[in-house]
Structure 1
């Protein structure tokens, strides 16, 4: 169950980061509320995941899901560059996170 909590925490981290784009410096109430709620849920799920996953591994996976998810949304929804170099960098993040997971005990 810890890995499910961690995966969901990562999805809420993506929502939190995307929400920041729409808060306009926390001046828009509804996007700000959505962003704060997504952050709180993400942190809560992360703490639940830490009950069964080592801290270093959990944090790397959580931030990896967020970084990769936000980058992919940026490329698909906001027209950000999807150059081979950027995609290769995302692949390196995936490889690093997978390595940490495989080597954790």
Structure 2
């Protein structure tokens, strides 16, 4: 458990990253988790490989800003954000205030 998030840490060269201030930067979630109200998906190796092959940029990571807010995740379930519907597996980006920036 790292800063409240159950992270993977073995095999497939998982590398949890931190900012210089010690805040979690990149995590590979071991289970689906709701972070700041967003249903984030756990890391799935096959999905990450397929994302790489497709060139979608999806890699299964969950990324945070230095202020601790969510920057990037892939959805664990269908979800509506700011009136927009997204599907399970969609990759989302947020700004430093937590507002949706883009679907990747």
TM-score w.r.t. length of structure 1: 0.24
**Larger relative strand fraction:** 2
**Larger relative helix fraction:** 1
Larger Rg: 1
